[in-house]
A and B are shown apart, each in its own frame.
Chain A
Amino acid sequence: MSAMPATTPIETVDREPSVRGLPGLRGTGIVGHVCAAILALAVLIAIVGPLLAPYSATEISLSNSFVGPTGDHYLGFTGQGADLLSLLLLGARSSILGPLIVVVAAMVLGVVVAIISAWRGGIVDQVLSVIMDVLFAFPGILLAILAAAVFGASLQTAAIALAIAYAPYIARVLRAAAIRERSREYIAALEVQGFSAWLICLRHLVPNISGLIVAQGTILFGYAMVDLAAISYIGLGVQPPQPDWGVMVAQGQSGVLQGYPAESLAAGLCIIIVVVAVNLLGERLNARSQGSAR
């Protein structure tokens, strides 16, 4: 998806009663805290999922194909006869940590480009802008397909491709914020005192736009998760038998047509829950960072 609302300012978040809460989430309301809790749980499962999963992904027996929930198998079996709950727990790792890597990479790229553009201005800014403009011509999914064709389909390839495709959007938003910040007097004061540009950027400029960076990163996570799952779904991301929610939606599709939708729906629901939580939280963080910028 390339029409990213992250860059369109028109968003309506209704004001909610302010609750005292965690400092990082201040001003995001009850919804923000609930979403953050869901995300924390998801990340925890992504990390320790393999320890929780009662069965392994390869423990399959076709005789269990599409068998419903039983005593030891709370969610029943997939079409290939694997334990569904275990697959979901195991699949959380690539489904959540994958997008996380995309976001971190895209943010680092975006922030570096934005700061260099804003700091140097002039020809450097123009050259970077042109490069970004060309990248804008490649929607994330298309770039991932191209990357898969060149380097072979894998989670790493897809993640790198998405990070490169997202970076221009992040860079554009942050560049504007960095230029505003750059023109503040305190930056000039630091320059006069002889601090190096890198030190000023790292110690002052970046921390001062960190609210926006966090908000944009959160919103981006939702997009990365959906796009990465879609790429795995079409077979160009995570490769089976490695468990992954996007792969599970694809593998369960034959079951859907035979009237056994459990695998596809369960994996789809996991994706939706995380994406909704991350989007709601992102909207609130974004509204907050824009509120404080005014």
Chain B
Amino acid sequence: MLIGTLLVSSFVIYSALYLAPGNPIATLTGGRTPSPEAVRILEERYHLNDPFLVRYWDWLTGVLHGDFGVSIPLRQDVSTLIAERIGITLGLVVYAAIIILILGIGAGILAALRPGLIDSSVIVASTISAALPSFIAAIVLLLVFSVQLGWFPAFGPGEAGLDRIYHLTLPAIALALASLAIVSRVTRACVREELRREHVQTATSRGIPRHLVIRRHVLRNAAIPITTVAGLTIASLIALSAVVERAFALNGLGAYLIQAALSKDFAVVQGIALVLVVAFVVTNTVIDILYALLDPRVKLGERAS
């Protein structure tokens, strides 16, 4: 199933861009009319005359060996271009995921267990952040924390290490905010629901201390739906990171994908799109596996729906 989806996706990505209007020779020669001899050499070098399926097969086997082809406008290996940028995107998404998991689930649990002031403030905060699209959140964060307070840099990924984390903080928050709201609201609802379950009463009736009842029965059981929702939300960040990278001028995969789409650099678009789709599909598969591991009623391979 996973392999099938990935194969078909790769085919869709490759063929869509293959069928796109436009002539790579024109791109290569920068608009000048090349001699027939030059055209022949170029066609040979970039295998432009091979049949479609052969070219797809070459591309696919290349990708499996880590070779994503050559960017015609840049005359550079796409693999190198991707490798240079993947770290920033990965860092951004992981950073945002950590924020979502810790703050979102934490706030949701707290709100469910402590009705009253804490609960109400979590609801208000999540209602506000749920309404903030990432790129608008980015603008607001830039305005407040970079321009007015000067606490965080406005642009760029910084140097690797702590400086990178510092530079990625605002982008990660912008990316996480809306998902944070979804996850905390779902967590709150699930924990509430589980607290009311009969089996929780059974545990209480046996004199099990409350914190153990909460941990072993309430949170353990609520973890099943929470994992699914949090996982799906985090998976959706992979594509959304492109927007945030653009907002904060981070040269990650997403920002580069956008740039390549604008300049019609198809080899780069194909390569990065495939990487993002694979990441998205694999993340979703991991969520399915986690779901089956957490819930003994579900057998691996059955669809969690």
Contact = CB atoms under 8 A, between A and B. Distances in A.
Q: Do chains A and B touch in the complex (CB under 8 A)?
A: yes
B203 interface: no
B143 interface: yes
A232 to B, nearest CB: 10
A1 B261 contact: no
B12 A265 contact: no
Nearest to A176: B305
A140 B103 CA distance: 26
Nearest to B231: A3
A137 B147 contact: no
B281 interface: yes
B133 A8 contact: no
A248 B190 CA distance: 39
A230 B235 CA distance: 18
A11 interface: yes
Interface in A11-28: 11-12
Contact of A3 (B182, B188, B260): B182
A134 B262 contact: no
A3 B185 CA distance: 14
Contacts of A134: 5, 8-9, 12
Contacts of A1: 178, 236, 240
Given A253-B139, A272-B132, A142 B8 contact: no
B147 A257 contact: yes
Contacts of A234: 135, 242-243, 246, 258
A34 interface: no
Contacts of A230: 133-135, 240, 243
B236 A139 contact: yes
Given A8-B229, A150-B17, A141 B243 contact: yes
A250 B276 CA distance: 24
A222 to B, nearest CB: 9
Contacts of A2: 232, 235-236, 239, 280
B54 to A, nearest CB: 21
A109 interface: no
Contacts of B258: 145, 234-236
Interface in A264-284: 264-265, 268, 271-272, 275-276, 279
Given A3-B182, A149-B20, A257-B142, A137 B5 contact: yes
B55 interface: no
A10 B186 contact: yes
Given A133-B5, A233-B135, A139 B280 contact: yes
A276 B131 contact: yes
A259 B148 CA distance: 8
Given A142-B273, A256-B143, A272-B132, A10 B225 contact: yes
State the main secondary structure of chain A at its contact with B: helix
Contact of B189 (A11, A249, A272): A11
A153 B261 contact: yes
Contact of A235 (B19, B190, B233, B262): B262
A246 B264 CA distance: 23
A149 B261 contact: yes
Nearest to B246: A234
Nearest to A261: B143
Given A145-B258, A149-B261, A272-B131, A10 B281 contact: no
B5 A3 contact: no
Given A146-B16, A256-B143, A257-B154, A271 B136 contact: yes
B239 A142 contact: yes
Interface in B249-292: 257-258, 260-262, 264, 266, 269, 273, 276-277, 280-281, 284
A149 B266 contact: yes
B140 interface: yes
24 contacts: A2-B280, A3-B179, A8-B229, A10-B225, A138-B12, A139-B236, A139-B238, A139-B276, A141-B242, A142-B280, A145-B261, A145-B269, A146-B261, A148-B261, A150-B16, A150-B19, A226-B133, A229-B135, A230-B240, A235-B246, A235-B262, A257-B142, A268-B140, A275-B131
10 smallest CB-CB distances across A and B, nearest first, come from A139-B239, A3-B232, A149-B261, A268-B136, A150-B20, A3-B233, A226-B133, A142-B239, A3-B236, A2-B236
Given A3-B179, A10-B193, A153-B262, 6 more contacts: A3-B182, A134-B5, A145-B242, A233-B135, A234-B258, A257-B147
